[in-house]
Amino acid sequence: MSELPPEGTSPEPAYVPEAGDQSAYAPAGPTPGQFIQAPPPTPEYSTPGLALAAAPPPRRRAWVRVVQLVAAIVLIAASGTTVLLFLGWHGGPAALLVGIGSSIIPVPFLVLCFLWLDRYEPQPTKYLVFCFAWGACFATGGALGVNTAASLLFQHLGLSDNLVAVLVAPFIEESLKASGPLLLFWLRRRAFSGFIDCIVYCGLSATGFAMVENILYLGVKTYGPIATEAGAAAGARAVVVTFIARIVLTGFAHPLFTSMTGIGLGFAIRATSKGVRIAAPLAGLLVAMMLHGSWNFMTVISLQSAYFLLYGYFAVMMPIFLSQVSLVLYLRSSEGRLVDRILPDYVRAGWLSPPEVAAMRTIGRRLSARRWAERVAGQAGATAMKAFQFDATRLALLRDGMRRGVGLAPAEVGSTLFEERSLLNALTAYRKVFGGRDMAAPRAFWDGVRYHVTFPDGVVRPVEPAPTPVAPLVVPLTQPMYGGYPAQPPRPYYL
């Protein structure tokens, strides 16, 4: 009868490659049915900050990151400054201030909606801010310049200025709004793991664009001219009417259009075919342009009769908007179902325990787990649990892609498997922060088949898992050394 290994100890560790060293993996690349040797357990970390060292990203040259960051900041800042100077010069300071004050009102609501969608796997704040700033500064600056030049050209050719709104604006605006998330995808591929990420990035870019565009329409084109001719009161009334039409009734338009590109990008990152990876974002961008152009066309012909706009709004745009909302909510809930479907593989391998997976099925359960971790390990425990849930969701998305062949091409497999190993190491390290701190729970660990629980009499007995796991969370305090995702059933410790 063998004894359980003492708490905090483990068998002799195997080789763990350094960050960026992928020589430990099969160079030919595994198929979804093959598995790899798992890393040994990580040492105990007392804080989430130290636990981050468990999964360090591959090293990059520092000067490359600095150049990229400086270039992006300069480009966005220059574009934003140019746009504000242009609007202030054309409309005057008063019109600019009125436009800024009224256009900012819906922004917190829209941003909170996208952050709510992103609760299962929250993205880094810096990436969210980048996409919003890109849409507000660079996209609006570029669109303003191109649309103005096209308007002057059409006037010179004797063509109607309405053609700019129907033929030019949708093409250039959707391209520029989508270019920010696409640039982020090119530079930070690992920041995208599912449909929701792509929709959130594209939606925030569109929200920033809509905010600055509303400054133009509410301040420069509405308040400025009317206040000059009829007084400030008349200008204020006109701003209220325009606010209701552009923000209350149609404030969803730009995020709706650009989210189509996000859906196409979502298909691309989950596809195994190179052709689909290229065609899907382009198809989404084309749909966004078509919707944008159709809406602008309905707005133009409504000058002849308002019934055209009413019909287009209630019979076309609202059904599309409600369908898009339903799709986004379905995609959001699917991430919870994905965790429930994929992570049991790691439960059987001993990397996760059944209650840990059950505690991530819904947002409510995740919040309950964070409160439990805070109760037993303080604020550091809550932070570690939040990071644990985030990386577990990323792991589920990664493994789901690997099941379908994503990231298993010969040139990609090393990076994919290294990311999986890093996430597994990180989960083990985060667990060290809050695991074993609940004095109301007995010492126990999960071996992939059953629990091994230390009873009050000091005897360790195997306990079969319950059909429905319950709190408090029972987490493995001793990591078995049989591999994280083995081809054969896990080896338990026998009593």
pLDDT in tens, 232-253: 899 999 999 999 988 998 889 9
For the chain, the straight-line distance linking the first and the last C-alpha, in angstroms and rounded, comes to 5
Rounded Cα distance, 248 and 94, in Å: 23
Q: Are 324 and 439 in contact (CB under 8 A)?
A: no
- Do 132 and 214 fall into the same domain? yes
Given 266, 300, 334, the domain boundary residue is 334
Residue 338 has pLDDT above 90, yes or no: no
Query: What whole-number distance in Å separates Cα of residue 388 and Cα of residue 394?
Result: 10
What is the per-residue burial (b if ≥16 Cβ within 10 Å, else e) of 221-248?
A: bbbbebbeeeeeeebeebbeebbeebbe
Contact present, 259 and 199 (Cβ < 8 Å): yes
Least confident span in 363-367, 386-390, 472-476: 472-476
**Mean pLDDT of all residues in 31-57:** 45
Average pLDDT over residues 75-100: 78
Residue ranges of the alpha helices (H) in 15-92? 48-51, 62-91
One-letter amino acid for residue 276 of the chain: V
Q: What is the reported pLDDT for 77?
A: 66
User: Percentage of residues in the chain with pLDDT exceeding 90?
Assistant: 22
Is 119 domain-assigned?
yes
Same domain as 347, residue 278 = no
Taking residues 414-440, report their average pLDDT: 86
Q: Is 266 in the same domain as 210?
A: yes
Is the residue at 325 inside a domain?
yes
Q: What is the pLDDT of residue 490?
A: 37
**What is the share, in percent, of the chain residues with pLDDT greater than 70?**
80
Do 312 and 378 have their domain in common?
no
Position 204 scores a pLDDT of 93
- Mean pLDDT, the chain, rounded, equals 78
Query: 470 pLDDT band (50/70/90 cuts)?
Result: low
Residues 231 and 257 in one domain: yes
The confidence band for 257, taking pLDDT boundaries of 50, 70 and 90, is very high
Judge if 170 and 256 occupy the same domain. Answer: yes
Residue at a domain's end among 300, 334, 368:
334
The pLDDT value recorded for residue 28 is 35
Q: For residue range 343-372, list pLDDT tens digits in order.
A: 988 888 888 888 888 888 888 888 889 999
Structure confidence at residue 9 as a pLDDT band (50, 70, 90): very low
Range of the domain at 306: 92-334
Q: Does residue 50 form part of some domain?
A: no
> What is the pLDDT, as a whole number, of residue 473?
52
Question: Packing angle between helix 195-214 and helix 93-103, nearest 10 degrees?
Answer: 150
Alpha carbon distance 13, 41 (integer Å):
8
Q: What pLDDT does residue 487 have?
A: 36
Spatial distance between the Cα atoms of 169 and 146, rounded to a whole number of angstroms? 8
Q: What is the pLDDT of residue 308?
A: 82
| Domain shared by 228 and 145, yes or no | yes
pLDDT of residue 21: 37
User: Please, which residues have CB within 8 angstroms of residue 371's CB and are 6 or more apart in sequence?
Assistant: 382
Greater confidence (7 vs 332) lies with: 332
Is the pLDDT assigned to residue 62 strictly greater than 90?
no
Cα distance between residue 317 and residue 213, in whole Å: 20
CA dihedral 51, 52, 53, 59 (to 10 degrees): 170
Q: What is the pLDDT of residues 99-121, one digit of tens each?
A: 888 888 888 899 889 988 887 77
Lowest mean pLDDT among 28-32, 54-58, 327-331: 28-32
Tell me: do 286 and 396 sit in the same domain: no
Give the whole-angstrom CA distance, residue 9 versus residue 343: 26
171 pLDDT exceeds 90?
yes
How many angstroms separate the CA atoms of 249 and 273, rounded? 40
The tens digit of pLDDT for each residue in 191-233 reads 887 888 899 999 999 999 999 999 889 988 898 889 888 888 9
Q: Is the dihedral of CA 321, 323, 325, 328 positive or negative?
A: negative
The number of distinct structural domains making up the chain is 2
Q: How far apart are CA 379 and CA 408, in angstroms?
A: 38
Label residue 139 by pLDDT band (50, 70, 90). Answer: very high
Cβ atoms 167, 294 nearer than 8 A: no
The whole-number pLDDT of residue 63 equals 59
Q: Are residues 304 and 347 in the same domain?
A: no
- pLDDT score at 203: 94
Same-domain check for residues 189 and 310: yes
What's the token pair of residue 123?
Answer: 């993205």
Q: Is the peptide bond before 480 cis (omega within 30 degrees of 0)?
A: no
> Tell me, what's the pLDDT at 5?
38
In the numeric block, the tokens 């096209």 are attached to 150
Pair (324, 353) in one structural domain: no
Alpha-carbon dihedral 335, 337, 340, 345, rounded to 10 degrees: -70
User: In the structure, what pLDDT confidence band is assigned to residue 254 with cuts at 50, 70 and 90?
Assistant: very high
Q: Is the pLDDT of residue 484 over 60?
A: no
- Residues 142 and 218 placed together within one structural domain of the fold: yes
b/e per residue 252-278 (b: at least 16 CB within 10 A): bbbbbbbbbbbbbbbbbbbbeeeeebe
Least confident of 1-5, 53-57, 183-187, 357-361: 1-5
- Is residue 173 over pLDDT 70? yes
